[in-house]
Chains A and B, each alone.
Chain A
């Protein structure tokens, strides 16, 4: 490993925050320079990302690459351990990619009260938090990055948000903090309860995962998993912890909503795949049916919620709850198949829903409203935006050939044969309910499309000049749209990367299956 490889991953995490520090010293009035510095920072970060992707060994996706493991706070045995494997890779790439596009998109329309300097500083800090969470291999490091994400988003919603921003931002912060509080307790319990073969205690995720929670009584495992579950489920968000999401999304500025949908929600599901399931496989098995139940409730509830919305952004927010339900359903099967589907679903949802929020923001900017009752005839006034909305609605409802399909369909399919030891009938029931969910998804998305894009222009906007897409929008949206098609046609580019590390996540369950199978043959032999 050469010197650059050694520093590259840390660079990917900390370049944004260095850029933020640099920005702090640029005077406020030099707006163009501020934007240029911010854009350059994210582009350089993405450049490092491209390097990481290019030099990644795709035959060993299950191994941590570019790993750095140095002492950090010795007294609490927390180490600076980062590394990239096939599960982290797509998420890190998504995070860097979306960050660049967000700055491009907001180039010349910063929400009120303007102040691009502060806004971009927050955005860059946010990127450090997100990138860091996806590469951290130490529980405390993970927690620090996980929490670091909270603050910039809180300010973004609270300062640049809609009319009800104070309520939404505080609710977002407190609900998530509540989850984090239980999560860190679970981390501590893992530290003290898990004893490594050499007798030491650790916060290291890799080492903890390698012993599969050995030595912890089943009851304690269940409780520790419960703490992790609440922490991550709030972030996902799963029903019934979702109440912060519609408010936060509705009030957040466009870029805030995009990042929230595209990356922040994934921190929760990523936590399940990276931490909860590999470290406590036994407890995961006991919890899986409950996760599955909440996931399908989320799917149906989110869909029904969508049908009751009058605000476009709120509708997309509820659709996020439904889509993350599919992701969690895939995870709840504890199979390689289901978790691969879940990771694909995370990427696809990030792209598609992020794009929908971009559109909702642009529509609001033009019509100064997001009320579905007042919108209509977008195809007549701004045909390009109208078609893109149609395209994204199709992608979101899971049309084969677009990215959304590969997240949703395999997730449903995986519930047909969940991991050994899980109730087959129950999971097949989930399968049926989730399938109904896809029909509802088609229903609300087409309904939204119909009301926003089709029909005639409402009287109040009839004589208003509505500008179709402009430069920054072309620049920001084209890459996303291309990726949605690309991933839809060649899903293998993601699955190839995720498959091996996911096998490692589910290895505990596979081992169990083997022992069950051999046990049966042993009985059958005599």
Chain B
């Protein structure tokens, strides 16, 4: 029997291809030309590649949203799907890559680390994220998950000279591998219960059979656990504070934005669209995960004295808010989660960008004390951080407010009143620790280390990255709110 190879529609996986090929080229170039070329070349190359992927994703977006030439469709033997959802995540991820690369440029020089490999790993990791969002098969999701994660394990330990970085990499690797195994086990159970790993076929099977088999419930549980690790939802968050704190700060920002977005892409596609018919079975699990993440994230962030660690806990609570949209299991909820991820990407990359700059040589000064009197020393930087923190707290006129508003309105619409109330009250707790950083920046006395031999510098690339983040955070919250919502809503059109 001849082996039948599926036709590969390259156009549909062009963004992923650009990222992977680009990463290979940088790797090759790095091996041959490292001594001859200055380090910034790799940053520029990496940005061009990500921008290229973005352009090709935009082209797909135009086709999908205007519905000519087929609109949303599956490709490569139904293994991947091109719809608003997948392209949305492609655009988001590539944007995050560009911002993180800009931020990493000065960081790598400051820490005297090898430049090309860093960008290679970041691009590969991003290609994994794109694959997860575009996958139409549980196996392909797993593939994307591994590509994403393995590159991230290495990135977490990229600052080899620092023990905390090596420790973070180790911890992330062990727990990440563990969660991947659990995810795979969930895939196996789903296959056992439905007879396929293809999401479309699973959905078709589930539509036909209303009853819920115990094996299927097991699959739900294992898939949620496996992806719960990636999005850092409580109780699968144990690794987050240590890994976020130990990793090189630009990597932390990248990890917080991209790994979480990819995890959510898989979670939303698997549960919202594929297992949508059985939502009554998995909604309680997501409910518990959301409440725990919001509460534990907010409460534990309050007691932190390290800003990096505090932001790690705050990203846990953000995961809880995004889960609210999934819990609602409505179109409004899905659009809310997607909009939240858009707002979150800019907020979190910007925030960790500030931490990168303030940490200075050795990536060490991440304690609250390092921010004392920042309002006097670097007023611009302090202002940017203030806006980003207020956005994370959900203050109106920032994207953070609309994001919270949107997911909570989805919860109210779906009659999840308890969840809505808990989320809003936790937002008040969360406001406390964001405000505490602002207090330290503006209101502490002048005993700050003004005679510091190592002043905070804002290199051009990092400054640009911060400017983009803060401007996006403000305009998505004000004048561009309408188009941004439309963008997220278009992305919520899923095709099976």
Q: Are B395 and A147 in contact (CB under 8 A)?
A: yes
Q: Which of B409, B421, B428, B439 contacts A76 (CB 8 A)?
A: B409
- Report the bound CA distance from A158 to B390 in whole Å: 16
Q: Is the CB of A181 within 8 A of B442?
A: no
Q: How far is the CA of A169 from the CA of B435 in the complex (A)?
A: 10
Question: CB-CB < 8 A to A151: which residues of B?
Answer: 390, 395
Smallest Cβ distance from B446 to chain A, in angstroms? 9
B424 touching A75 by the CB < 8 A rule? no
What CA separation (Å) do A416 and B135 show in the bound complex?
71
* Residues of the B chain whose Cβ atoms lie less than 8 Å from the Cβ of A173: 431, 435
Contact check, B435 vs A75: say whether CB atoms are below 8 A apart: no
B397, A181: Cβ atoms closer than 8 Å: no
A158/B443 in contact, CB under 8 A: yes
* Chain A residues in 8 Å Cβ range of B335: 75
Does the CB pair B482–A166 fall under 8 Å?
A: no
CB-contact partner of B443 in A72, A144, A159, A174, under 8 A:
A159
Judged by a CB distance under 8 angstroms, whether B420 is at the interface is yes
> Given the interface contacts A75-B482, A185-B412, does A170 sit within 8 Å of B420 by beta carbon?
no
B166 within 8 A of A: no
Q: How far is the CB of B174 from chain A (nearest CB, A)?
A: 39
Q: How far is the CA of A148 from the CA of B401 in the complex (A)?
A: 12
- Determine the residue in chain A with the shortest Cβ distance to B339: A75
* A168-203 to B contact mask, C-beta < 8 Å, 1/0: 011001100110011011001101100000000000
Asked whether A58 is an interface residue with its Cβ less than 8 Å from the other chain, the reply is: no
A163 to B413, CA, bound (A): 46
Decide if B420 touches A166 in the complex (CB within 8 Å). Answer: no
Quick one: which of B396, B425, B432, B439 has the most chain A CB within 10 A? Answer: B396
Residue of B nearest to A158 (CB): B443
B396 A144 Cβ-Cβ under 8 A: yes
Assess A143 versus B428: contact at CB under 8 Å? Given A158-B442, A173-B435.
no
Query: With a CB–CB cut-off of 8 A, which chain B residues contact A181?
Result: 424-425, 427-428
Interfacial chain B residues near A75, Cβ < 8 Å: 335, 482, 485-486, 489
The answer, among A165, A170, A182, for a CB contact under 8 Å with B435, is: A170
State in angstroms the CA–CA spacing of A159 and B373 once bound together: 12
Q: Would B432 and A185 count as touching, CB distance under 8 A?
A: no
Bound: A189/B421 CA distance, A: 11
| Size class of the A contact interface (CB-based, 8 Å) | 20 to 34
Bitwise interface map of B from 427 to 464 toward A, beta carbon under 8 Å scored 1, else 0: 11001100110010011000000000000000000000
* Contact (A174, B432) CB under 8 Å given A188-B408, A188-B412: yes
Say yes or no for A155: interface residue by CB 8 A criterion: yes
Shortest C-beta distance, A518 to chain B (Å), equals 39
Is B58 an interface position by the 8 A CB rule? no
B396 touches A188 (CB 8 A): no
Flag if A76 contacts B405 (CB, 8 Å): yes
- Indicate if A460 sits at the interface (CB-CB under 8 A): no
A235 to chain B, nearest CB (A): 15
B488, closest chain A residue (CB): A75
How many A-B pairs fall under 8 Å by CB?
Answer: 84
Q: Does B76 contact A (CB under 8 A)?
A: no
Q: Is A523 an interface residue (CB 8 A)?
A: no
Query: B481 contacts the other chain (Cβ, under 8 Å)?
Result: yes
* Interface presence of B158 (CB below 8 A): no
Give the residues in chain A near B439, CB-CB below 8 Å. Answer: 158, 166, 169-170
A143 to B428, CA, bound (A): 16
B406 at interface by CB-CB < 8 Å: yes
- In the complex, chain A residues 66-93 whose Cβ is within 8 Å of any chain B Cβ: 72-76
Q: How far is the CA of A147 from the CA of B412 in the complex (A)?
A: 21
- Chain A residues within an 8 Å CB radius of B396: 143-144, 147-148
In the complex formed, the residue of B with least CB distance to A24 is B383
Contact call A177/B442, Cβ cutoff below 8 A: no
Cβ of B421 and Cβ of A166 under 8 Å apart?
no
Residues of A within 8 A of B427 (CB): 177, 181
Q: Which residues of B contact A76 (CB under 8 A)?
A: 402, 405-406, 409, 485
User: Do B409 and A177 touch across chains, with their CB atoms under 8 A apart?
Assistant: no
Contact of A73 among B395, B435, B481 (CB under 8 A): B481
| CA gap between A154 and B427 in the complex, in Å | 17
- Per a CB cutoff under 8 Å, which of A73, A188, A191 touches B420? A188
Residue of B nearest to A143 (CB): B396
Task: Tell me the minimal C-beta distance from A138 to chain B in angstroms.
Answer: 13
Tell me the minimal C-beta distance from A441 to chain B in angstroms: 34
Interface SS of chain B: helix, strand, loop or mixed? helix
Shortest distance in angstroms between A200's beta carbon and chain B's nearest beta carbon? 14
Assembled-state Cα–Cα distance A72/B413 (Å): 21
A74 and B428 contact, Cβ closer than 8 Å, known pairs A165-B443, A185-B412, A188-B409: no
CB distance from A430 to the nearest CB of B (A): 31
Taking CB atoms, residues of chain A closer than 8 Å to B432 are 170, 174
Q: How far is the CB of B211 from chain A (nearest CB, A)?
A: 32
**Residues from chain B with Cβ under 8 Å of A166 in the complex:** 439, 443
Contacts of B420 in A (CB 8 A): 185, 188
Instruction: List residues 40-59 of chain A with CB under 8 A from any CB of chain B.
Output: none
Q: CB distance B431 to A174 under 8 Å?
A: yes
Residues from chain A with a CB closer than 8 A to the CB of B402 are 73, 76
Cα distance, A181 to B395, chains bound together (Å): 11
What is the minimal beta-carbon distance from B407 to any residue of chain A, in angstroms? 11
Residue in A73, A155, A169 whose CB lies within 8 Å of B485? A73
Against B, the Cβ 8 Å flags (1 = close, 0 = not) of A185-225 are: 10011011000000000000000000000000000000000
A188's nearest neighbour on chain B, judged by CB, is B412
Q: Are A185 and B395 in contact (CB under 8 A)?
A: no
Alpha-carbon separation in the docked complex, A173 to B439 (Å): 12
User: Is there contact, CB below 8 Å, between B397 and A178?
Assistant: no
CB-CB under 8 A from A144, the residues of chain B are: 396-397, 401
Chain A residue with the shortest CB-CB distance to B436? A170
**Shortest Cβ distance from residue B81 to the other chain A in the assembled complex, whole angstroms:** 25
B402, B421, B424, B436 interface centre (most CB from chain A within 10 Å): B424
A10 vs chain B, min Cβ distance (A): 15
Among the listed B405, B425, B431, B482, which residue makes an inter-chain contact with A74, where contact means beta carbons less than 8 Å apart? B482
Contact B408 A177 (CB under 8 A): no
Closest chain A CB from B252 CB (angstroms): 27
Max chain B CB contacts within 10 Å: which of A72, A165, A173, A177?
A: A177
Interface residue ranges of A329-367 to B (CB < 8 Å): none
Residues of B near A159 (CB, < 8 A) are 442-443
Q: Is the CB of A174 within 8 A of B428?
A: yes
Query: B409: which A residues are within 8 A, CB to CB?
Result: 76, 188, 191-192
Q: Which of B472-494 contact A (CB under 8 A)?
A: 481-482, 485-486, 489
- Hey, what's the 0/1 contact readout for A117-150 against B, CB within 8 Å counting as 1? 0000000000000000000000010011001101
Shortest beta-carbon distance from A145 to chain B in Å: 8
CB neighbours (8 Å) of A169 from chain B are 439, 443
Question: Could you tell me the distance between the alpha carbons of A41 and B425 in the complex, rounded to whole angstroms?
Answer: 37
In angstroms, how far is the closest chain B Cβ from the Cβ of A182?
A: 7
Q: Which chain A residues border B489 with CB–CB below 8 Å? A: 75
Which chain A residues lie closer than 8 Å to B442 at the CB level?
Answer: 155, 158-159
Whole-angstrom CA separation of A104 from B432 in the bound complex: 34
CA of A176 to CA of B467, assembled, Å: 31
Question: How far in angstroms is the closest Cβ of chain B from A459?
Answer: 33
Contact A184–B390 (Cβ < 8 Å): no
A184-B405 in contact given A166-B443, A170-B439 (Cβ < 8 Å): yes
Q: What 5 A-B pairs come out closest when comparing CB atoms?
A: A181-B424, A75-B485, A144-B396, A188-B412, A147-B396
Chain A contacts to B: CB under 8 angstroms: 72-76, 140, 143-144, 147-148, 150-151, 154-155, 158-159, 165-166, 169-170, 173-174, 177-178, 181-182, 184-185, 188-189, 191-192
Q: A72-B482, A155-B442, A177-B428 are in contact. List 15 more A-B contacts (CB 8 A).
A: A75-B335, A75-B486, A75-B489, A76-B405, A144-B397, A147-B395, A147-B401, A150-B395, A151-B390, A154-B435, A158-B439, A169-B439, A170-B435, A174-B435, A192-B413
- 20 intermolecular pairs with C-beta atoms under 8 Å apart: A73-B402, A73-B482, A75-B482, A143-B396, A150-B395, A154-B435, A155-B442, A158-B439, A169-B439, A169-B443, A170-B439, A173-B435, A174-B432, A174-B435, A177-B428, A177-B431, A178-B428, A184-B405, A185-B412, A185-B424
